[in-house]
Amino acid sequence: MKSEKLRITSQRDVILDELRSVKTHPTADELYEQVRRRLPRVSLATVYRNLEWLSEQGLAQKIEVGGRQKRFDGDISEHYHVRCSKCGRVADVEMDMLDGIEERIAQCCGFTVTGHRIEFTGLCPACSNGSAC
Ligand code: ZN
Ligand code: MN
């Protein structure tokens, strides 16, 4: 049963659709530029507010990467990310989630662990080749 709160408006639909169409983990500003092509009158504030809402509802993932602008991911499956420390770009890591890690944290810290995030850092292919990206 869908609650009233979870009903997606058409504007939100477009924003989520655009977010899901890219693998780049865009910032709100980047997604705004993209969404504007379909919704010329949309404001950055609307895109931002909807991204926050979609994240709260579990329909998108908010990636808070090392002190920079928040990025968003339309892929809500559990997966790890790798961030380029030079240009800030974020890519998916194609590997299985580490097994047993949450149980170990629960044992050592007494927390009820509900999930984990691991962010790898390094240089993306473009940055390690010394070319601009
Ligand atoms: Zn880079
Ligand atoms: Mn991702």
Please report the pLDDT score of residue 9 as a whole number: 58
Three-state SS annotation for the chain: CCCHHHCCCHHHHHHHHHHHCCCCCCEHHHHHHHHCCCCCCCCHHHHHHHHHHHHHCCCCEEECCCCCCCEEECCCCCCEEEEECCCCCEEEECCCCCCCHHHHHHHHHCCCCCCCCCEEEECCHHHHCCCCC
Of the listed ligands, the closest to the CA of 132 is 1
Per-residue pLDDT of the chain (133 residues; tens, 9 = 90+): 555 555 545 899 999 999 999 999 999 999 999 999 999 999 999 999 999 999 999 999 999 776 568 999 999 998 999 999 998 889 999 888 888 889 888 888 888 988 888 889 999 999 998 655 4
| Cα–ligand 2 centroid distance for 65 (angstroms) | 12
Please report the pLDDT score of residue 122 as a whole number: 94
CA-based end-to-end distance of the chain = 46
| Cα–ligand 2 centroid distance for 43 (angstroms) | 25
| Cα–ligand 1 centroid distance for 19 (angstroms) | 21
Of the listed ligands, the closest to the CA of 87 is 1
Of the listed ligands, the closest to the CA of 74 is 2
Indicate the pTM of the whole model: 0.80
Domain boundaries, the chain: 1-75, 78-133
Please report the pLDDT score of residue 35 as a whole number: 97
| Cα–ligand 1 centroid distance for 86 (angstroms) | 5
Fold entry, domain 1-75: Arc Repressor Mutant, subunit A (1.10.10)
Of the listed ligands, the closest to the CA of 131 is 1
- Give the right CATH number for 78-133 from 2.40.50.140, 3.30.1490.190, 3.50.50.60, 3.40.50.150: 3.30.1490.190
| Cα–ligand 1 centroid distance for 127 (angstroms) | 4
Please report the pLDDT score of residue 4 as a whole number: 53
| Cα–ligand 2 centroid distance for 90 (angstroms) | 8
